[in-house]
Amino acid sequence: MNYGSERVSKINLSQVRKMFEQASPSAINLALGEPDFDTPKHILDSLKCALDENRTHYSQNKGEPVLRESIAKKLDKDNDIKVSSDDVIVTVGASEALYSSIQALIDPKDDVLIPDPGFLSYAECVRLAGANSIPVKSSSENGFKTTVEDVENALTENTKAIVINSPCNPTGAVMEKEDIKAISDLATDKEFIVLSDEIYEKIIYDKKHYSFQTYTDNAVTINGFSKAYAMTGLRVGYCASNPDIIEEILKVHQYNVACIDTATQVACNTALTSSQDCVKEMTNEFKKRRDLVVNSLNNMGLDCIMPDGAFYVFFRADNPEEFVKKAVKEDVILVPGGAFGEEGKEFIRLSYAQSYDNLAEAMKRLEKIA
């Protein structure tokens, strides 16, 4: 008996998680995109206090009003996005925000543009909605930054939306302001929706982050607390958009998860409204790690572009699949770039969300097989 539905039978399990699960206890795991830092103490103290106060009952479907208000203020201050707290939904991580947005806004047979290379869940979320994934191919010669020309080349008559991610997983690329504005104008003119995954917004080096929703109403801003505040296991994200779009997303969110746990929302509000020094310190450390990894790989003769954001490098190898297998034997876990799309097949993704010492040791191990 085939227990799976037809649409689910076509879904692939995460290759990143597969690499993560095969790691030996002694391996240095450079496959998983999770900050190795502890959640800042003041955020944990806020969570403990909320639990002591029995903040364990339902919140509103959209999320706690005080947190949504703080998110709206953050979007205004950091992103020049003008929304009210009613235009925000607090979700189970950025992943649920993306999934609920696609389920709410996309019909079967619609075309949805997704980055290539891009995070592997995008195509599967589109497939679960019964829609078609159309790759937006970015060029390694351009540092894998998506351009308006890349999007124009991928547009079809049935394009309903584009999923876009800057800073980008897996490449670390940060899009230019001119392209973000031009793609936003294109979304307004051609009447498609930009689903903007901005989860790595705070992990950016020597550049400035820009949001699509600054320039068009046809956008959903997706973000969260996992990466910036090392809160991956607490699973809180959010999405914001215009009232008509948010109402549709709420329908899916409401009947899928009802609401997010209340105590964690209290902690998230503390994260947003307290000093951001912890975010700056973490980003500065990531920058040191990035420089170590990129310089080491290039010294090995492995072509590696210097990324502007996130905590990944995407480096070229003659035979990525074979290189990854050899790396496993040296107790270093990597992910073949082909997991992220056709344009990634000559590359390998390395996450430098590990300690500096672990990364230095991993580079020594990789040098043996380079």
156-202 pLDDT, tens digit per residue, is 999 999 999 999 999 999 999 999 999 999 999 999 999 999 999 99
Q: Is the pLDDT assigned to residue 18 strictly greater than 70? A: no
pLDDT digits (tens, 9 = 90+) for 238-285: 999 999 999 999 999 999 999 999 999 999 999 999 999 999 999 999
The average confidence (pLDDT) of the chain is 94
Q: Is residue 1 part of a domain?
A: no
Q: Is the pLDDT assigned to residue 294 strictly greater than 70? A: yes
> At residue 43, what is the residue type?
I
Asked if residues 50 and 263 have their Cβ atoms less than 8 Å apart, the reply is: yes
**Whether 30 and 138 share a structural domain:** no
**Whether 219 and 125 share a structural domain:** yes
Q: Is residue 172 part of a domain?
A: yes
**Whether 126 and 53 share a structural domain:** yes
**Whether 257 and 286 share a structural domain:** no
Q: Is the pLDDT assigned to residue 50 strictly greater than 90? A: yes
Nearest CA-CA partner of 145 in 132, 123, 121, 164: 164
Give me the CATH number covering residue 235.
3.40.640.10
Mean pLDDT of 81-89: 98
Q: Is residue 254 part of a domain?
A: yes
**Whether 208 and 344 share a structural domain:** no
**Whether 222 and 335 share a structural domain:** no
Give me the CATH number covering residue 285.
3.90.1150.10
**For residue 164, what are the β-bridge partners?**
196
How far is 324 from 334, CA to CA, in rounded Å?
6
Peptide bond into 336 cis (omega under 30): no
Give residue 19's pLDDT band: very low, low, confident or very high (50, 70, 90).
Answer: low
> For residue 199, what is the DSSP state?
T
**Whether 100 and 58 share a structural domain:** yes
**Whether 200 and 340 share a structural domain:** no
Q: Which of 222, 256, 273 is the last residue of a domain?
A: 273
**Whether 113 and 34 share a structural domain:** no
Q: Which of 273, 306, 341 is the last residue of a domain?
A: 273
**Whether 282 and 245 share a structural domain:** no
Q: Which of 254, 273, 292 is the last residue of a domain?
A: 273
Q: E strands of 241-369, at which residues?
A: 312-316, 332-333, 335-336, 347-351
Strands 219-224 and 28-29: unpaired
Counting the structural domains of the chain, the total is: 2
pLDDT digits (tens, 9 = 90+) for 52-70: 999 999 999 999 999 999 9
**pLDDT above 70: percentage of residues in the chain:** 95
Q: Which domain holds residue 215?
A: 41-273
pLDDT digits (tens, 9 = 90+) for 114-157: 999 999 999 999 999 999 999 999 999 999 999 999 999 999 99
**Whether 304 and 178 share a structural domain:** no
Mean pLDDT of 203-212: 96
**Whether 242 and 360 share a structural domain:** no
